[in-house]
Structure 1
Amino acid sequence: MKININADIGEGYGKFKMGNDEELMRLIGSANIACGMHAGDPTIMVQTVEFAKRENVSIGAHPGFNDVWGFGRRQIRMNPLDLEYSVTYQIGALQALAASRGARVTHVKPHGALNNMAHDDIDIAMAVGRGIKAADPDLVFVANVGSQMTRAGEQL
Protein backbone atom coordinates (compact mmCIF):
# COMPACT_ATOMS: atom_id res chain seq x y z
CA MET A 1 0.00 0.00 0.00
CA LYS A 2 1.24 3.50 -0.82
CA ILE A 3 0.30 6.46 1.38
CA ASN A 4 0.51 10.04 0.12
CA ILE A 5 1.05 12.54 2.93
CA ASN A 6 -0.29 15.93 1.87
CA ALA A 7 0.30 19.34 3.45
CA ASP A 8 -0.75 22.96 3.01
CA ILE A 9 2.45 24.90 2.47
CA GLY A 10 3.97 28.15 1.18
CA GLU A 11 1.82 30.25 3.46
CA GLY A 12 4.29 33.00 4.35
CA TYR A 13 4.77 36.52 2.96
CA GLY A 14 8.18 37.86 2.01
CA LYS A 15 10.43 37.67 5.05
CA PHE A 16 7.60 36.34 7.23
CA LYS A 17 7.79 32.55 7.10
CA MET A 18 5.14 30.11 8.31
CA GLY A 19 6.92 26.94 9.36
CA ASN A 20 9.88 25.27 7.71
CA ASP A 21 8.58 24.44 4.24
CA GLU A 22 11.92 23.16 2.99
CA GLU A 23 12.19 20.57 5.78
CA LEU A 24 8.51 19.63 5.59
CA MET A 25 8.84 18.96 1.86
CA ARG A 26 11.10 15.98 2.65
CA LEU A 27 8.25 14.29 4.55
CA ILE A 28 5.32 14.68 2.13
CA GLY A 29 4.24 13.35 -1.24
CA SER A 30 2.07 16.28 -2.32
CA ALA A 31 1.91 19.95 -1.39
CA ASN A 32 -0.95 22.45 -1.61
CA ILE A 33 0.76 25.79 -2.27
CA ALA A 34 -0.97 29.02 -1.22
CA CYS A 35 -1.74 31.12 -4.30
CA GLY A 36 -1.50 34.67 -2.96
CA MET A 37 -4.99 35.43 -1.67
CA HIS A 38 -5.14 34.03 1.86
CA ALA A 39 -1.35 33.67 2.05
CA GLY A 40 1.72 33.39 -0.11
CA ASP A 41 3.26 35.77 -2.59
CA PRO A 42 5.06 35.21 -5.91
CA THR A 43 8.48 34.82 -4.28
CA ILE A 44 7.22 32.36 -1.67
CA MET A 45 5.32 30.48 -4.39
CA VAL A 46 8.46 30.10 -6.55
CA GLN A 47 10.60 29.04 -3.58
CA THR A 48 8.00 26.46 -2.58
CA VAL A 49 7.75 25.13 -6.14
CA GLU A 50 11.54 24.77 -6.19
CA PHE A 51 11.50 22.87 -2.87
CA ALA A 52 8.76 20.57 -4.21
CA LYS A 53 10.56 19.96 -7.49
CA ARG A 54 13.81 19.11 -5.71
CA GLU A 55 12.05 16.57 -3.45
CA ASN A 56 9.81 15.16 -6.24
CA VAL A 57 6.66 16.32 -4.43
CA SER A 58 3.44 16.80 -6.44
CA ILE A 59 2.52 20.47 -6.69
CA GLY A 60 -1.04 21.53 -5.96
CA ALA A 61 -2.76 24.90 -5.99
CA HIS A 62 -4.33 26.01 -2.72
CA PRO A 63 -6.74 28.83 -3.66
CA GLY A 64 -8.64 30.67 -0.97
CA PHE A 65 -10.65 33.77 -0.29
CA ASN A 66 -8.94 37.15 -0.56
CA ASP A 67 -8.61 37.31 3.23
CA VAL A 68 -5.03 37.94 4.34
CA TRP A 69 -6.06 39.29 7.75
CA GLY A 70 -8.23 36.27 8.47
CA PHE A 71 -5.85 33.79 6.78
CA GLY A 72 -8.70 32.66 4.53
CA ARG A 73 -10.68 31.30 7.45
CA ARG A 74 -13.52 33.82 7.30
CA GLN A 75 -16.56 33.09 5.17
CA ILE A 76 -16.86 35.54 2.29
CA ARG A 77 -20.01 35.43 0.20
CA MET A 78 -19.15 35.95 -3.45
CA ASN A 79 -21.05 35.95 -6.69
CA PRO A 80 -20.47 32.45 -8.15
CA LEU A 81 -18.94 33.85 -11.34
CA ASP A 82 -16.53 36.05 -9.36
CA LEU A 83 -15.58 33.02 -7.26
CA GLU A 84 -15.01 30.91 -10.37
CA TYR A 85 -12.72 33.57 -11.85
CA SER A 86 -10.84 33.99 -8.57
CA VAL A 87 -10.13 30.25 -8.41
CA THR A 88 -8.96 30.19 -12.05
CA TYR A 89 -6.81 33.27 -11.45
CA GLN A 90 -5.08 31.77 -8.42
CA ILE A 91 -4.43 28.44 -10.13
CA GLY A 92 -3.14 30.26 -13.22
CA ALA A 93 -0.68 32.26 -11.14
CA LEU A 94 0.80 29.11 -9.62
CA GLN A 95 0.80 27.33 -13.00
CA ALA A 96 2.79 30.16 -14.59
CA LEU A 97 5.30 30.31 -11.75
CA ALA A 98 5.67 26.52 -11.71
CA ALA A 99 6.19 26.45 -15.49
CA SER A 100 8.90 29.10 -15.13
CA ARG A 101 10.77 26.57 -12.98
CA GLY A 102 10.12 23.55 -15.21
CA ALA A 103 7.39 22.15 -12.98
CA ARG A 104 3.64 21.68 -13.28
CA VAL A 105 0.59 21.86 -11.07
CA THR A 106 -1.13 18.49 -10.68
CA HIS A 107 -4.00 19.08 -8.27
CA VAL A 108 -6.15 21.68 -6.49
CA LYS A 109 -7.36 21.74 -2.90
CA PRO A 110 -9.25 24.85 -1.79
CA HIS A 111 -8.18 26.47 1.48
CA GLY A 112 -9.97 27.17 4.75
CA ALA A 113 -13.41 28.73 4.63
CA LEU A 114 -13.64 28.29 0.86
CA ASN A 115 -13.06 24.56 1.22
CA ASN A 116 -15.53 24.30 4.11
CA MET A 117 -18.24 26.27 2.30
CA ALA A 118 -17.77 24.26 -0.91
CA HIS A 119 -18.04 21.07 1.13
CA ASP A 120 -21.65 21.95 2.05
CA ASP A 121 -22.94 24.24 -0.74
CA ILE A 122 -23.35 22.87 -4.27
CA ASP A 123 -23.40 26.35 -5.86
CA ILE A 124 -20.05 27.23 -4.29
CA ALA A 125 -18.69 23.78 -5.12
CA MET A 126 -19.75 24.15 -8.76
CA ALA A 127 -18.11 27.60 -9.00
CA VAL A 128 -14.88 26.18 -7.57
CA GLY A 129 -15.10 23.20 -9.93
CA ARG A 130 -15.69 25.40 -12.97
CA GLY A 131 -12.72 27.54 -11.94
CA ILE A 132 -10.50 24.47 -11.71
CA LYS A 133 -11.74 23.09 -15.02
CA ALA A 134 -11.17 26.44 -16.76
CA ALA A 135 -7.56 26.50 -15.57
CA ASP A 136 -6.87 22.92 -16.66
CA PRO A 137 -9.44 20.14 -17.06
CA ASP A 138 -6.78 17.54 -16.21
CA LEU A 139 -6.12 18.84 -12.69
CA VAL A 140 -7.05 16.49 -9.86
CA PHE A 141 -9.89 18.01 -7.83
CA VAL A 142 -9.24 17.19 -4.14
CA ALA A 143 -12.51 16.81 -2.22
CA ASN A 144 -13.89 15.01 0.80
CA VAL A 145 -15.94 11.89 0.12
CA GLY A 146 -19.67 12.64 0.15
CA SER A 147 -19.21 16.40 -0.06
CA GLN A 148 -20.82 18.81 -2.49
CA MET A 149 -17.35 19.25 -3.97
CA THR A 150 -17.31 15.56 -4.81
CA ARG A 151 -20.68 15.96 -6.53
CA ALA A 152 -19.45 19.01 -8.43
CA GLY A 153 -16.37 17.12 -9.57
CA GLU A 154 -18.52 14.25 -10.80
CA GLN A 155 -20.90 16.60 -12.64
CA LEU A 156 -18.18 18.63 -14.30
Structure 2
Amino acid sequence: MERTLVLCKPDAVQRGLVGQILTRFEQKGLKLVGMKLRQFPKELLEQHYSDHKERPFFPSLVGFMGSGPVVAMALEGIDAIAVVRGLMGKTNAREAAPGTIRGDLGMSFSNNLVHGSDSAESAAKELALFFPGADELVDWTPCTLEWSYSVGEELKG
Protein backbone atom coordinates (compact mmCIF):
# COMPACT_ATOMS: atom_id res chain seq x y z
CA MET A 1 0.00 0.00 0.00
CA GLU A 2 1.15 3.49 -0.81
CA ARG A 3 0.19 6.77 0.84
CA THR A 4 -0.02 10.15 -0.81
CA LEU A 5 -0.98 13.73 -0.03
CA VAL A 6 -3.83 15.54 -1.75
CA LEU A 7 -4.57 19.20 -1.14
CA CYS A 8 -7.91 20.68 -2.08
CA LYS A 9 -6.71 24.19 -2.80
CA PRO A 10 -8.51 27.40 -1.74
CA ASP A 11 -10.43 27.56 -5.03
CA ALA A 12 -11.87 24.06 -4.47
CA VAL A 13 -12.88 24.98 -0.91
CA GLN A 14 -14.39 28.32 -1.96
CA ARG A 15 -16.35 26.68 -4.78
CA GLY A 16 -17.73 23.96 -2.49
CA LEU A 17 -16.06 21.12 -4.44
CA VAL A 18 -14.27 19.31 -1.62
CA GLY A 19 -17.01 16.70 -1.25
CA GLN A 20 -17.08 15.94 -4.98
CA ILE A 21 -13.30 15.68 -5.09
CA LEU A 22 -13.11 13.37 -2.08
CA THR A 23 -15.94 11.27 -3.51
CA ARG A 24 -13.97 10.63 -6.70
CA PHE A 25 -11.01 9.31 -4.74
CA GLU A 26 -13.19 7.16 -2.50
CA GLN A 27 -15.25 5.81 -5.38
CA LYS A 28 -12.03 4.75 -7.09
CA GLY A 29 -11.17 2.68 -4.03
CA LEU A 30 -8.61 4.87 -2.28
CA LYS A 31 -8.81 4.93 1.50
CA LEU A 32 -8.90 8.18 3.46
CA VAL A 33 -6.41 7.92 6.35
CA GLY A 34 -6.16 11.60 7.31
CA MET A 35 -7.94 14.88 6.67
CA LYS A 36 -7.87 18.43 8.03
CA LEU A 37 -9.18 21.86 7.07
CA ARG A 38 -6.78 24.68 7.85
CA GLN A 39 -5.44 27.94 6.58
CA PHE A 40 -1.83 26.83 6.56
CA PRO A 41 0.92 29.29 7.56
CA LYS A 42 3.09 30.93 4.93
CA GLU A 43 6.22 29.20 6.28
CA LEU A 44 4.74 25.74 5.79
CA LEU A 45 3.56 26.60 2.27
CA GLU A 46 7.00 27.97 1.37
CA GLN A 47 8.56 24.75 2.62
CA HIS A 48 6.01 22.66 0.70
CA TYR A 49 6.71 24.50 -2.57
CA SER A 50 10.46 24.96 -1.94
CA ASP A 51 11.31 23.20 -5.23
CA HIS A 52 9.82 26.23 -6.99
CA LYS A 53 11.55 28.85 -4.82
CA GLU A 54 13.60 30.31 -7.69
CA ARG A 55 10.70 30.35 -10.14
CA PRO A 56 8.97 33.69 -10.83
CA PHE A 57 5.54 32.34 -9.83
CA PHE A 58 6.66 31.20 -6.35
CA PRO A 59 5.37 34.26 -4.43
CA SER A 60 1.98 34.19 -6.14
CA LEU A 61 1.67 30.42 -5.63
CA VAL A 62 2.38 30.72 -1.90
CA GLY A 63 0.04 33.72 -1.72
CA PHE A 64 -2.76 31.83 -3.45
CA MET A 65 -2.36 28.76 -1.24
CA GLY A 66 -2.46 30.99 1.85
CA SER A 67 -5.46 33.00 0.64
CA GLY A 68 -8.02 30.74 2.25
CA PRO A 69 -8.65 27.37 3.80
CA VAL A 70 -7.13 24.23 2.31
CA VAL A 71 -8.25 20.65 2.90
CA ALA A 72 -5.28 18.32 3.32
CA MET A 73 -5.98 14.63 2.81
CA ALA A 74 -3.84 11.54 3.17
CA LEU A 75 -5.00 8.75 0.87
CA GLU A 76 -3.87 5.14 0.74
CA GLY A 77 -4.06 2.39 -1.86
CA ILE A 78 -2.06 0.30 -4.28
CA ASP A 79 -0.22 2.73 -6.59
CA ALA A 80 -2.03 5.59 -4.83
CA ILE A 81 0.32 8.29 -6.18
CA ALA A 82 -0.21 7.38 -9.84
CA VAL A 83 -3.93 6.77 -9.31
CA VAL A 84 -4.42 10.19 -7.68
CA ARG A 85 -2.45 11.97 -10.39
CA GLY A 86 -4.50 10.24 -13.08
CA LEU A 87 -7.74 11.26 -11.40
CA MET A 88 -6.56 14.87 -11.06
CA GLY A 89 -5.70 15.39 -14.76
CA LYS A 90 -3.25 17.79 -16.38
CA THR A 91 -2.09 20.84 -14.42
CA ASN A 92 -3.74 23.20 -16.91
CA ALA A 93 -7.39 22.41 -16.27
CA ARG A 94 -8.39 23.60 -19.78
CA GLU A 95 -6.20 20.82 -21.20
CA ALA A 96 -7.22 18.15 -18.69
CA ALA A 97 -9.22 15.25 -20.06
CA PRO A 98 -12.94 14.99 -19.38
CA GLY A 99 -13.53 12.58 -16.53
CA THR A 100 -10.64 14.00 -14.48
CA ILE A 101 -11.17 16.37 -11.56
CA ARG A 102 -9.53 19.28 -13.34
CA GLY A 103 -11.06 18.36 -16.70
CA ASP A 104 -14.58 18.32 -15.29
CA LEU A 105 -14.41 21.05 -12.67
CA GLY A 106 -11.64 23.49 -13.64
CA MET A 107 -10.78 26.14 -16.21
CA SER A 108 -7.50 27.55 -14.91
CA PHE A 109 -3.79 26.74 -14.97
CA SER A 110 -3.14 28.38 -11.60
CA ASN A 111 -6.46 27.81 -9.83
CA ASN A 112 -6.47 24.10 -10.63
CA LEU A 113 -8.30 22.81 -7.55
CA VAL A 114 -5.95 20.08 -6.30
CA HIS A 115 -2.37 19.17 -5.55
CA GLY A 116 -1.13 15.59 -5.41
CA SER A 117 2.31 14.25 -4.56
CA ASP A 118 4.32 13.35 -7.68
CA SER A 119 6.55 10.60 -6.25
CA ALA A 120 7.02 8.38 -3.21
CA GLU A 121 9.75 10.72 -1.95
CA SER A 122 7.53 13.78 -2.33
CA ALA A 123 4.62 12.00 -0.69
CA ALA A 124 6.71 11.11 2.37
CA LYS A 125 8.01 14.68 2.69
CA GLU A 126 4.61 16.28 2.10
CA LEU A 127 2.71 13.97 4.44
CA ALA A 128 5.24 14.76 7.18
CA LEU A 129 4.67 18.50 6.62
CA PHE A 130 0.88 18.44 6.65
CA PHE A 131 0.38 15.57 9.12
CA PRO A 132 3.38 15.86 11.47
CA GLY A 133 1.85 14.17 14.51
CA ALA A 134 2.20 10.41 14.91
CA ASP A 135 -1.52 10.21 15.68
CA GLU A 136 -2.73 12.27 12.72
CA LEU A 137 -3.03 9.36 10.28
CA VAL A 138 -5.29 6.42 11.00
CA ASP A 139 -4.54 2.79 10.17
CA TRP A 140 -7.80 0.99 9.51
CA THR A 141 -9.27 -1.63 7.22
CA PRO A 142 -12.43 -0.81 5.30
CA CYS A 143 -15.03 -3.56 5.20
CA THR A 144 -15.09 -3.09 1.40
CA LEU A 145 -11.40 -3.92 0.94
CA GLU A 146 -12.00 -7.29 -0.69
CA TRP A 147 -14.49 -5.65 -3.06
CA SER A 148 -11.94 -3.03 -4.17
CA TYR A 149 -8.96 -5.36 -4.62
CA SER A 150 -8.49 -9.02 -5.36
CA VAL A 151 -7.15 -9.82 -1.92
CA GLY A 152 -5.63 -13.14 -3.02
CA GLU A 153 -3.77 -11.60 -5.98
CA GLU A 154 -3.02 -7.98 -5.10
CA LEU A 155 -2.75 -7.93 -1.33
CA LYS A 156 -0.57 -10.97 -0.71
CA GLY A 157 1.90 -10.81 2.09
User: Which TM-score applies when normalising by structure 2?
Assistant: 0.26
Structure ranking higher on relative contact order (CA contacts 8 Å, 6+ apart): 2
The structure that has the greater radius of gyration is 2
User: Which TM-score applies when normalising by structure 1?
Assistant: 0.26
